[in-house]
Amino acid sequence: MTIKLRISDPLQLLPYQTGLLKPPLDKKAAEGNSASNLDTQQKAIELGQPVPIVFGKYVDVAGTVEDHGGVFISPGATKARYENGFSIDGTSYPTGLKVTMNMVLSQGELGQIQVQDVYQRACKKGTAVVYYGANAGALYAPGNYVTYPTLWTCPNYCGTNDGTYEDMTTLWYQNTYFEGDDTWNRQVHVFVRNGIKVPRLIEGTSGSSNNMLDLAIYLIRKTSRVPELLIDTTAMTLAANFTATNKFYWDGVITESSNLEDWMQRMAGFFLLRVSDKNGKKGFRPRLPINGNYTINTGVISWVYGFTEEHLLPDGFQIEYIPLTERKPICAQMIWRQQPPNDIGFIRTTEVRIDGEAVDGPYEQFDMSQFCTWEDHAVKVGAYEVARRKYVTHSLRIKVKPDSFNTTLVLGDIVRVQLRRETDPGLVTFHDYLYEVEKINKTVSGVVELDLMHFPIDSQGRSILALYVAGAEGTGYLYDVGRNDYTCDDPDNEGNDDPIPDDVGENNPDEPDTDVDLPNPGVDDGTGTGLPTDRPVFPGGTSTTGYPPSGSPTGNNPDDPFDDEPGGGTPITGIPNDRPIQAGDELVFAPPCCPSEVIWYQYDCDTGERMQAVYTETTSPEDNCESRYQMTGEVINQLLDGGIKFCLQGSYKCLDPGSPEGTGPEIFSDPVELTPYLPPIQCPGAQSSGGQGTYTQVVDVGEGLGTFTFGYQAYSIPDRFVITGAASLDTGNVSGSASLTITKTSADRYVFVTVYAPLSGTAWLYSVGCTTP
Amino acid sequence: MANRAQSQYLRLFDESATYYRWQNFYFNQTVTWETASWNYHPFVLNAMVGTATQAEAGITVTIPATYIAVNALQNALDKNWLCELKMYEFDSRLSQAVPQSGQLLIGTFIGEVIGIGGSFTELDVSIGSSLAPVGAQVPPRSFSSRLVGNPIKL
């Protein structure tokens, strides 16, 4: 049975699905606040940590204070060498410490890094080399080679030269420390002006970028989870132009692992975009109407299609208002990063509210500090958030009949819904709004279901949200960095915009192999893949191969005991094995359940026909749970009269209080065949003859007490004649002949004459007379 | 509305070739459309959803579990084939024998075959994106012994 679950898609969820509403955020320290921990111990890389991705591009707006972008990172070390002794300008410092260290800056190839952009603590100092695709700098032996350990307590586990550093940008860093300098183990920081080089949507070339769409595509491709054909490059390019035109930049480092879908959804909101799955392809599209030059459209909005009652199907209108909690005015506290030229960036907040509203809060935090270095960007996002709370009021779901829009209406289009409302006598009102198409569901029946999000416009037909966002600008005020002492900077580094060398990189030539390529475990079956495929062949086997010899798929299955007929209990016992059954013999049948109802049946061994019941009994523990049936002469006579083989069958019914009859089904034992009889021969003249063997013959001598004659001829080889039943005789082994008068012991008609003739070549003959009273 | 009819076309393909083309309207016929031949296969696509939201980024096709279908869909799953669905609308008063040249494309969807399930006679095929909605995917790589060897302990 297949169970198909259909999950409803409540309209209330639409604002959340579109990213218009977001789950509440925790208030916490800004994500991009890495520069607050400048003077900490150097970090080491730990296996399993995500390889950071440094993305962004420093933009120097000459002659202004509008410089922005770039990323300040604190890379982890992979190996280091500590040793004493160095010289500066010919002066030797034998107790001084020289530290050489390697670090990983980012996945991918970073753009150029300047000498002045390498820091230890807050100081621009040290010598660096950067390299992509291998460990930067020439190979050296990592380790603790300090000869003055009382002066310098350096690490002992200093890493190895192993590692491929494939598709990573690495940094070699060296610095010297005079005796007593306790900053030798401080964190090295790098201000990355040009993040990793990626294919750029707008430029069409590869290089450092600060466009979030370039980063999104890079991540989609690097995760290898989505085929290239499923990336909506057209939508991505449009969105990239939108963000670039409106100066929404991404300058940051990704160090925390997250889900790609979640990341895209979160980022989309901060770039006034929304994630779109159009025709199955992943893309982004602007949340606001745009002009042909990708600026925000603050003009009159036209709609592409109008829906009225004429289009609506019965029960085809559903409206859901945004809940009050999402409508209350807020002050959006936008957190971003001020990036001064040639210095460390720091966190800023800008509070955005609609004039006169939420003056004392509530405050809602929007942390864009991980990537936003441009105040206007943060302010425009804040403007969108506060404006949509005030003006986007509801969503619609309408079911309409198909029409010409079927081929023209696409996601993101603006439509008008005008419906006449006549609920009060004499009063006609209209539900008349513009909407943005969020979902189109075209069914086989032709019915089209549209999910629509309210698109507020002012009295002039302009998008209210677009007006708010387009008009929002930052204060432009830049804080002073708050630093007055730059003496710790190395004069050779300070202001030095020479690129640090990037032409030296060397890995361990004896790189150990840590990868396991699984060998082919089977036989290449010629499918061209070089690998075995799941094409089972089940040949007939032997007792040792596990396959059934027949090749049958069920040949090895064990029998299911519950599929068999229940056992008939113990076999019927008490049958004499040295003579025919006779009156007085007691047969025993023990069913497997107790108490039980037992019925004894006569049974025709020749035809397999169950005949009349001859005895019924209920077993009980007092009777040892056995049914005992005493054979009567009457039964034997009836059977002999019929000339049948004498068989008996027992049956039982276990007690079942749950059934209407109080018992379970009737279950039969195997029939037992009693000693077969020859058909009775009649007196007078009843006689029989034969040779070697044992033979029993029933003879009808007539009813009543009295005597009858019995004559035998055993010839020369001895035989034995035994009479049972209504008379008793045992001649023992005798030869020759004799005629005897036998006195009956009962009035029964039948006697049983058994001849035991074991010897080879023997012959015998007997005759029986009728009863004489 | 009564004059509208719908036909649906399904294509399994990858970057190098198209492996199957099926249509579900022209009973037991192979028809020519867009210069290609489309065999009849009675699959059912109840609705084609286009969404600007993160939700419902996939559709389901129900298909008889014929030998060809089972084989094709298993291959699609094994080899990451893509599946393209197109929904056309045309005037049913005109020819229903062959695709009308003027039929209108009202919906299209492309995705990976991401799941197959059902019974011995019928399969439900999920078409969408293999981008998992749960689990961490970015950054795509983490530090490993192969990448950085045995790193320093500070």
Share of chain A above pLDDT 90, in %: 41
Nearest to B51 among A225, A254, A438 (CB): A438
Look up the ipTM and state it.
Answer: 0.82
Q: Is A198 on the interface with B (CB under 8 A)?
A: no
Q: Is A171 on the interface with B (CB under 8 A)?
A: no
Q: Which residues of A touch B132 (CB under 8 A)?
A: 225, 259, 261
Residue B1 pLDDT > 60, yes or no?
no
Q: Which residues of A touch B135 (CB under 8 A)?
A: 259
| CA pair distance B53, A523, nearest whole angstrom | 47
Q: Which residues of B touch A105 (CB under 8 A)?
A: none
Q: Which residue of A has its CA nearest to B45?
A: A444
| CA pair distance A26, A143, nearest whole angstrom | 43
Please state the domain extents for chain A: 19-287+322-393+456-496, 586-673, 681-768
For residue A713, give the H/E element and its range.
Answer: strand A707-713
**CATH class of the B4-132 domain in this structure:** mainly beta
- Give the pLDDT score at A2: 40
pLDDT tens per residue across span A612-667: 888 898 888 888 888 988 877 777 666 655 554 567 888 888 888 888 888 888 88
A750-757 vs A693-700, strand pairing mode = antiparallel
Nearest to B82 among A18, A19, A229 (CB): A229
Mean pLDDT of chain A: 85
Segment B107-111 mean pLDDT: 86
Q: Please tell me the distance in Å from B24's CA to the nearest CA on chain A.
A: 12
Cα separations in angstroms, A508 against A82, A159, A513: 19, 13, 12
Nearest to A279 among B44, B50, B136 (CB): B50
Largest CA distance in chain B: 80
Largest CA distance in chain A: 156
Nearest by Cα to B147 from A170, A222, A502: A170
Residue B33 pLDDT > 80, yes or no?
yes
Nearest to A514 among B124, B133, B146 (CB): B146
Strand ordering across the sheet containing A363-367: A346-352, A331-338, A363-367
Cα separations in angstroms, A734 against A496, A638, A764: 140, 34, 11
- If pLDDT is split at 50, 70 and 90, which confidence band does B9 have? very high
Q: Which residues of A touch B47 (CB under 8 A)?
A: 441-444
Collapsing DSSP states into helix, strand and coil, what is residue A144?
strand
A632 and A648 Cβ atoms separated by less than 8 Å: no
Pick from A416-420, A612-616, A671-675, B147-151: least confident: A671-675
A198 and A260 Cβ atoms separated by less than 8 Å: no
Strand ordering across the sheet containing A693-700: A681-682, A693-700, A750-757, A719-725, A729-734
Segment A579-594 mean pLDDT: 80
Cα separations in angstroms, A282 against A60, A228, B61: 33, 10, 20
Q: Please tell me the distance in Å from B32's CA to the nearest CA on chain A.
A: 22
Nearest to A442 among B47, B142, B149 (CB): B47
Residue B46 pLDDT > 80, yes or no?
no
CB contact under 8 A, B129 and A402: no
- Give me the phi and psi of A583, to 5 degrees please: -60, 140
Q: Please tell me the distance in Å from B37's CA to the nearest CA on chain A.
A: 23
Q: Please tell me the distance in Å from B19's CA to the nearest CA on chain A.
A: 17
- If pLDDT is split at 50, 70 and 90, which confidence band does B101 have? confident
Q: Is A52 on the interface with B (CB under 8 A)?
A: yes
Collapsing DSSP states into helix, strand and coil, what is residue A767?
strand
Give CA B34 to chain center in angstroms.
18
Question: Is the domain A681-768 a CATH 3.40.50 member?
Answer: no
CB contact under 8 A, B133 and A259: yes
Nearest to A168 among B129, B147, B154 (CB): B147
Pick from A6-10, A290-294, A443-447, A545-549: least confident: A6-10
Which residue of A13, A18, A42, A47 is the best one to mutate when testing the B interface, meaning the one whose CB has the most B CBs within 10 A? Answer: A47
pLDDT tens per residue across span A517-558: 777 776 666 666 667 777 777 777 777 777 777 778 777 788
Segment B75-83 mean pLDDT: 89
Give CA A141 to chain center in angstroms.
46
Nearest by Cα to A409 from A523, A556, A311, A546: A311
- If pLDDT is split at 50, 70 and 90, which confidence band does A585 have? confident
DSSP, res A565: P
Segment A501-526 mean pLDDT: 74
Q: Please tell me the distance in Å from A136's CA to the nearest CA on chain B.
A: 12
A609-618 vs A596-604, strand pairing mode = antiparallel
Segment A225-236 mean pLDDT: 85
Segment B6-17 mean pLDDT: 91
Residue A676 pLDDT > 60, yes or no?
no
Which A-chain residues 419-478 have CB contacts (< 8 A) with chain B?
Answer: 437-444, 446, 451
Nearest by Cα to A179 from A97, A100, A235: A97
B18-23 vs B36-40, strand pairing mode = parallel
| CA pair distance A55, A131, nearest whole angstrom | 17
| CA pair distance A308, A418, nearest whole angstrom | 5
Q: Which residues of A touch B149 (CB under 8 A)?
A: 78-79, 159-163, 508
Residue A213 pLDDT > 50, yes or no?
yes
Which A-chain residues 247-286 have CB contacts (< 8 A) with chain B?
Answer: 254-255, 257-261, 263, 265, 274-282, 285
Within 10 A of A527 (CB to CB), how many other CB atoms are there?
A: 10
Residue A25 pLDDT > 80, yes or no?
no
pLDDT tens per residue across span A195-205: 999 999 999 99
Supply the DSSP string of A287-337, one letter for each residue: SS-B-TTSSB--SBPP-SEEE-TTTEEEEEEEEEEPPGGGTS--EEEEEEE
- Give the pLDDT score at A732: 92
Q: Which residue of B has its CA nearest to A276?
A: B52
> Between residues A466 and A38, which one has the greater pLDDT?
A466
pLDDT tens per residue across span A438-449: 888 888 888 899
